[in-house]
Amino acid sequence: MISYTPRQLQAFVAVAAQGSVRRAAETLHLTQPALSMALAELERQLGTPLFDRERGRLHLSAQGRELLPMAQEILQRMQALQQRAGTAADRLSGELRLGASNTVGNYLVGDLLGDFVVAHPDVAVQLTVNNTDAIVAGVLEHRLDLGCVEGEVTHPQLDTRPWREDALVVCARPDHRLAERARLRAEDFRGTRWIVREPGSATRAMSERILAKLPEPRVVLELGQIEAIKQAVSAGLGLACLPRVALGDALAAGRLVVLPTPFLRMHRQLSLVMHRTRYRGPVMQAFLDRVLTAVSGRG
C-alpha cells in the first residue's frame, strides 16, 4: 500500500521546479539530506525513478513528467480542503507561478497582476519573464501554472484565452531619413537596416512577417531585450519593430519617433495560456476569474 506524505510530494514538486536538491531544500526550508530522503522514499514507494541524474542536475524522467501534474494537483487539493474547512473570513493564500513574455512582464505587469495582488495579499506570486517559447515550454512542463504571452500559440495540450490587444510600431531615431517624411510607402524602406529580437520571441516572429513585406531589408543586429534594441535604435544603428507600450519613455524624451506605416498590419493578441490537464485550484481560479472579468469589462 502506498503511503506517501505531503512532504514527499512537496519534495518532488520542488526539485522538479528548481532542478537541484540544494535549491529545492532552500525553498522548503529543509536540509538537503532531509529532502533527499523524502524524495528517495517517494521513488521507492512508487517503484520508479522520478528523475534522471546528469552532471549534477536532476531532470524529470518519463515517469516523472507523467506524475508531476498529479502530485501538484494532490497538494493543491489538500490546500483547497484546508481553506474550505476554514471560516468564511479566511483569506485566500497559496502560490501562483506565473510566466510572462518580455513585453507583458516588463511593461504590462501592473495591468496583469495589480488588482489580483491587492485583492489577495496572502498569495505569493512568482513571476518568470522570458520569451514566448520559453514561457510556453514552462507551462507544458508544469513548471508554471499559467503564462501570458504575445502572438499566436497553438498546441493541443494548451488552453488559450485572449487577454488584450497589443500593437507593434516601426521606430527610428528622430534624424533618420524616413522620419522627415509625412507619407511612407513600402518602397521607401528599401535596403534599410533593422535590429530584431532573438529567435523564440513573438516580437521577432511578427517582425519577420513585417520585414517580408518590405524590399530588401537588412538585419544588422539581434538583441535579447527590448531596452537594448531601443538604445541601439537611438544610437542610429537601424530601425526596429517594437511594442508601442514599450516606447513611452523614449518617445516622450525625444530619443525615438514612430514612423507611419498604415500599409503594414501590426496588431497582435496577448493571451493567457494554461495546460488543459492542469488542476485549477482556488488560487489559479481566482486569478483567472479576476483577469478574465476585467477583459469582459473592457469589451
Pick the CATH number of 6-74 from 1.10.10.10, 1.10.10.60, 3.40.50.1000, 3.40.47.10: 1.10.10.10
Per the DSSP assignment, residues forming a β-bridge with 168 are 243
Residue type, 62: A
| Residue 41 buriedness (CB in 10 A; 0-12 / 13-18 / 19+) | middle
Q: Reduce the DSSP state of residue 83 to 3 states and report it.
A: helix
Q: What is the pTM of this model?
A: 0.77
Residue 265 near residue 259, CB atoms below 8 Å: no
What are the residue ranges of CATH 3.40.190.10 in the chain? 94-164+269-297, 165-267
At the top level of CATH, the class of 165-267 is alpha beta
Q: Could you tell me which residues come within 8 angstroms of residue 234 by beta carbon, excluding any fewer than 6 positions away?
A: 173, 250, 255, 256
Inter-residue contact 24 to 17 (CB < 8 Å): yes
By C-alpha distance, which of 91, 71, 90, 138 is closest to 147? 138
For every residue of 7-63, DSSP letters joined together read HHHHHHHHHHHHSSHHHHHHHHT--HHHHHHHHHHHHHHHTS-SEEEETTEEEE-HH
Angle formed at CA 193 by CA 188 and CA 195, multiple of 5 degrees: 125
Residue ranges of the chain that CATH labels 1.10.10.10: 6-74
Q: Residue-wise pLDDT tens for the chain (299 aa)?
A: 567 888 999 999 899 888 889 999 998 889 999 999 999 999 999 889 999 887 767 888 888 888 888 888 888 888 777 766 665 446 788 889 999 999 999 999 999 999 999 999 999 999 999 999 999 999 998 889 999 998 788 899 999 999 999 999 999 999 999 998 888 999 999 999 999 999 989 999 999 999 999 999 999 999 999 999 999 999 999 999 999 999 999 999 999 999 999 999 899 999 999 999 888 888 999 999 999 886 655 55
Q: Please answer whether residues 236 and 173 qualify as being in contact, where contact means their C-beta atoms are separated by less than 8 angstroms.
A: yes
Looking at domain 94-164+269-297, its CATH architecture is: 3-Layer(aba) Sandwich (3.40)
Phi, psi of 184 (to 5 degrees): -125, 145
Cβ 154 vs Cβ 273: under 8 Å: no
